[in-house]
Structure formats: structure tokens, C-alpha cells
């Protein structure tokens, strides 16, 4: 990134960018309004997008690590035949906020660990990421406290920032991004445009009302496995799994087989799973090492504080989704506060 790799654009230029993606065989997904919420959905026009969105229900992970995904088809004969079936197409995810960009970086790092999840890798390789600096923050946002926003410096092919009404700074994050942008003949950005962005970021930073302090919690929380906060919070927790389903870094999944009615053919399915569900940790003969709701809630919170098996790959990026979608108003920043002796 730098001034050499930055342009300015108006809304119709962004439309041209979308058209360029389509011309190159990409399907474009972007944030659109759904009732009172937003979702990443297929779009063809820039006007379908709501560039003022706060957060989508499901994070962009739904396009890279789908909620349900056939990993192979199989046929049963004398033995079996397996047919790999990870379904990959070229997509652009347009308008991802900085916190979600950071989440995708974490998923990338996680799934590329040996042995690589080849389906994830294949999807990721054919995905272009267009970041969007937030236009505003709301009372559930706290990326600023975690250093995962509101400014993105990595994790995108192109980054768009609205610097004044209908006028955008378009920064390049990769050669792929540059190749596409070059075809648009956009004017190069000038220092004043970067200055405008800097001011916008400053303004964003000053508008956060929610703060979180997770510093050192990965160790601290594990020293407080017996803290009463776990049990107390679990009294409210519904174990509905919303928190982990909407979390942009929660990757846990189930694998199961589904046979068709001939009982000779079927599919193995990878499906998003949640550690909040009773069945998640059940072992043979019904044993369960996280049978108590408080254990499951604690496990998820430890995970978000970076103290579970996902380590920092699954630690919180401050998007606020789990807080918005918790029917019991459980707020991990409040729990962090209590654990830190607040």
C-alpha cells in the first residue's frame, strides 16, 4: 500500500469496478439490507449495496467456510468410490469491514496449517477481497480496543474508504487488485485524500463508546477457571449457539454422511458446529466432558480470549456480533472486565 497504489473514485467508478469483476468471471457479494439487518449477498449494482452498513448477520466466513459444504460424494459398491466435490468459483467479497478482514486473515492462517484444508485454500485462492473502511461505528463495536480496526492495513486486494459524500479513496493491497484497478483509468490519489482518510479514521476512533481490555486474558482467564462469573453467566446462557455461529473466526465444524434413498450413494458433509451445543463434546457411550452449560460457555469465552485450542486464530476481533445476537445479553467485554478484577 502507498500513494503509488491508490486512486480516487466516485460511485459510478465503483460500479465500473463491479462490472470489471463480472467481466473477469467473478460473482460479487456485498452487504445488502435485509429487514433491519444486513447480509452479504450476490449483487450486480453498486446501488444494491449499503455502504453504511454496520455489520452483517453472518460474517464473510460464510463464503469461505460455508455453513454447509459437501466435501466429497461417494458410491458404495464392493467397497467405495470417492469423488471430491469441493465446489469452487471465482468470487469477490465487496465491502468487508476492517474487523472482518482481520478475521479472514486468521481463518487463512488457521486453515493453511498442515495439513491444509484444500477446499478452503481453493476457495480462498479464487476470492478477491475488497475492504471497506467503516463509515460509522455503533455501540456494539469495539475493534478499536483490540487493534483490529477501524483502520485496515492488510488483508485486502482493494480497500475503499469514503472520504466525502460519494467520493472514495481506493487503495491497492495486492497485484491482483492493482491489475483490476488499472483497467479503470482512475485518477491517482493525492496527499490530501490520504489526509481526508486519516481524519475519517480519527473521527471513527473517537466515536467508539464500547471498550474492551483483553490484554493478558489468555493466561489470566485460565487461572480463573473457578471464577463465579462462568456459572453466573451460564444461568442466563441459552446454549443457542448464536455467538459462535455469527463469530467471524469460529470455524468449528461437524462431519457427517448422508445417504440417498438407494443407500448406495451419498455425500460427506462439513457443517458449521458450535461448542455451545450439548452434543458437541459428547464421546462414545454418552460421556461428555463439557456437559455443564457453564463449561461450554467458559470454553467459548476462553476461545475468544485466545486461551482455547484455536489460540489466537479464534480470538475475538471486536465485531460485536455475539453481543448483538445473544438473546440473553451476554457481553464478552463485560466478562473480560470482571475477570480482570473490574
| Closer by beta carbon to another protein, 148 or else 295 | 295
- Using CB under 8 A, pick the residue from 2, 4, 79, 341 that binds another protein: 79
Binding of residue 119 to another protein (CB under 8 A): yes
Look-up: residue for cell 456480533? Answer: 321
- Between 3 and 289, name the residue whose CB sits nearer to another protein: 289
Binding of another protein at residue 33 (CB under 8 A)? no
Q: Which residues pair with 32 in a beta bridge?
A: 39
> Which of positions 43-72 make contact with another protein (CB under 8 A)?
57-58, 62, 67-68, 71-72
Given the complex with another protein, which of 20 and 121 has the nearer CB atom? 121
Q: Is 88 in the site for another protein (CB under 8 A)?
A: no
- Choices 94-102, 126-134, 255-263, 331-339; region in contact with another protein by CB under 8 A: 255-263
Least distance CB 112 / another protein (angstroms): 10
Task: Supply 19's cell numbers.
Answer: 462490472
DSSP 187-207: EEP-HHHHHHHHHHHHHHHHT
Chain-centroid distance, C-alpha 167 = 26
Q: Report the nearest approach of another protein to the CB of residue 163 (Å).
A: 31
3, 25, 80, 87: which one contacts another protein (CB under 8 A)? 80
Of residues 134 through 153, those in contact with another protein by CB under 8 A are: none
In this chain, which of 125, 165, 256, 341 binds another protein, going by CB under 8 A? 256
Q: Based on CB atoms, which residue is closest to another protein, 19 or 265?
A: 265
Question: Which positions ≥6 away from 249 have C-beta within 8 Å?
Answer: 61, 103, 106, 107, 310, 313, 314, 315, 316, 317
Half-sphere exposure of residue 109: CA atoms within 13 angstroms, side-chain side: 14
- Of the candidates 327, 312, 334, 325, the one whose C-alpha atom is nearest the C-alpha of residue 244 is 325
Site string for another protein, 177-216 (x = CB under 8 A): ----------------------------------------
Please state whether beta strands 37-42 and 68-76 pair in parallel, antiparallel, or not at all (unpaired).
unpaired
Does 87 engage in binding with another protein (CB under 8 A)? no
Parallel, antiparallel, or unpaired for β 187-188 and 253-259? unpaired
Question: Largest Cα–Cα distance of the chain, in whole Å?
Answer: 71
Least distance to another protein, CB of residue 260, Å: 7
Taking the least distance from each CB to another protein, the nearer of 81 and 195 is 81
Pairing between β-strand 158-164 and β-strand 68-76 as defined by DSSP bridges:
unpaired
Distance CA 70, CA 272 (A): 12
155 contacts 1 by C-beta, under 8 angstroms: no
Q: Which residues, including other chains, have CB under 8 Å from residue 275's CB and lie 6 or more apart?
A: 244, 252, 281, 290, 296, 299, 300, 303
Q: Is 209 helix (H, G, I), strand (E, B) or coil?
A: coil
| 3-class SS letters over 149-186 | CCCCCCCCCEEEEEEECCEEEEEECCHHHHHHHHCCCC
**Size of site (CB under 8 A) for another protein:** 86
> Which region, judged by CB under 8 A, interacts with another protein, from 132-140, 143-151, 152-160, 292-300?
292-300
Minimum Å gap between C-beta 4 and another protein is 34
- Using CB under 8 A, which of the segments 154-162, 166-174, 194-202, 273-281 binds another protein? 273-281
From 123, 200, 299, 304, residue interacting with another protein (rule: CB under 8 A)? 299
Choose which of 3, 10, 109, 116 interacts with another protein (CB under 8 A): 116
User: Least distance (Å) from another protein to the CB of residue 186?
Assistant: 33
Q: Does 4 bind another protein (CB under 8 A)?
A: no
Amino acid at each position: 500500500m502507498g500513494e503509488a497504489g491508490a486512486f480516487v473514485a466516485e460511485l459510478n467508478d465503483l460500479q465500473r469496478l463491479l462490472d470489471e469483476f463480472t467481466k473477469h468471471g467473478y460473482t460479487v457479494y456485498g452487504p445488502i439490507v435485509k429487514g433491519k439487518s444486513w447480509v452479504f449477498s450476490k449483487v450486480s449494482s453498486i446501488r444494491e449495496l449499503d455502504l453504511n452498513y454496520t455489520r452483517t448477520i453472518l460474517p464473510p466466513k460464510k463464503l469461505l467456510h460455508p455453513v454447509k459444504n459437501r466435501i466429497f460424494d461417494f458410491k458404495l459398491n464392493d467397497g467405495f468410490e470417492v469423488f471430491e466435490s469441493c465446489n469452487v468459483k471465482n468470487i469477490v467479497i465487496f465491502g468487508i469491514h476492517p474487523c472482518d478482514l482481520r478475521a479472514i486473515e486468521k481463518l487463512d492462517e488457521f486453515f493453511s496449517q498442515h495439513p491444509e484444508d484444500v477446499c478452503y485454500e481453493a476457495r480462498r485462492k479464487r476470492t478477491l477481497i475488497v475492504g471497506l473502511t467503516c463509515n460509522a461505528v455503533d455501540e456494539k463495536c469495539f475493534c478499536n480496543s483490540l487493534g483490529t480496526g477501524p483502520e485496515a492495513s492488510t488483508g485486502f486486494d482493494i480497500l475503499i474508504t469514503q472520504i466525502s459524500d460519494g467520493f472514495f479513496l481506493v487503495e491497492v493491497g495486492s497485484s491482483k487488485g492493482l491489475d483490476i484497478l488499472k483497467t479503470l483509468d482512475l485518477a491517482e490519489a493525492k496527499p490530501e485524500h490520504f489526509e481526508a482518510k486519516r481524519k475519517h479514521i480519527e473521527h471513527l476512533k473517537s466515536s467508539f463508546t464500547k471498550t474492551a481490555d483483553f490484554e493478558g486474558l489468555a493466561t489470566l482467564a485460565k487461572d480463573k477457571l473457578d471464577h463465579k462469573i462462568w456459572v453466573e453467566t451460564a444461568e442466563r446462557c441459552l446454549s443457542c449457539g448464536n455467538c459462535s455461529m455469527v463469530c467471524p473466526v469460529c470455524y468449528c465444524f461437524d462431519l457427517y454422511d448422508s445417504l440417498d434413498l438407494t443407500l448406495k450413494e451419498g455425500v460427506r458433509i462439513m457443517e458449521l458446529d458450535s461448542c455451545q451445543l450439548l452434543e458437541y463434546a459428547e464421546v462414545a457411550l454418552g460421556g461428555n466432558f463439557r456437559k455443564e452449560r457453564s463449561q461450554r460457555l467458559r470454553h467459548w469465552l476462553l476461545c475468544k480470549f485466545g486461551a482455547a485450542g484455536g489460540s489466537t486464530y479464534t480470538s475475538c476481533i471486536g465485531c460485536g456480533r455475539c453481543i448483538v445476537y445473544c438473546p440473553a445479553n451476554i457481553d464478552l467485554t463485560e466478562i473480560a472486565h470482571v475477570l480482570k478484577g473490574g
